[in-house]
A = this chain, B = another copy of it.
Amino acid sequence: MARTVIIFGICMAVLVGLLKWAEYLFFARDLALEAYIGIVGLFCTILGGWIGWKLTHKNTGSVPTIGPQNEEFTSAQFPLTNHFNLSPREHEVLILISEGLSYQQIADTLNVSLSTVKTHASNLFSKMDVQRRTQAVMVAQKNGLIPRMKG
């Protein structure tokens, strides 16, 4: 980003130089004003396009970035590994989340209050280092924390 600004500054300097040079031509050889303006306009248009491109195609990262870091992960079918030190209850909640249930539905399933489910969920999210249930499901699948699809 800072680099873009610097390059922009350089371009402006170059522009000024060209301006002086063109001005010299203008007064010395009677270059048409329209041509002069045209050059400046063309240059600035291209420059603007470049700036726009830089600004919009720079750090649009902000994308997936869910990198867990499992190594062995044998798990034929159901060992259900536990890389994140989840408590049994948290693991249960995670599995129910992965099945598409809402917190209220999970609370009903486990016969606990909504608050409890949310507490478990929040804790397991922080343990798994994710912000959303969908991310948790992704990570859980990659690490074999939840049963396999039976589609």
Contacts and interface: CB of A to CB of B under 8 A. Distances in A.
Nearest to A41: B44
A100 B130 contact: yes
A74 interface: no
B100 A70 contact: no
Interface string A111-140: 100000000000000000010111101100
A49 interface: yes
A49 B124 CA distance: 36
A34 B26 CA distance: 13
B151 A142 contact: yes
Contacts of A47: 45, 48
Interface size on A, as a range, is: 35 or more
Given A49-B49, A64-B100, A142 B149 contact: yes
Nearest to A34: B19
Contacts of A40: 37, 40-41, 44
A48 B37 contact: no
A86 interface: no
A78 interface: no
Interface in A42-80: 42-53, 55-57, 60, 62-64, 66, 70, 73
8 A-B pairs with the lowest CB-CB distances in the bound complex, closest first: A48-B48, A142-B151, A100-B135, A52-B52, A44-B44, A49-B52, A45-B48, A48-B49
Given A40-B44, A53-B56, A56-B57, 6 more contacts: A19-B34, A37-B37, A48-B51, A49-B49, A51-B52, A97-B134
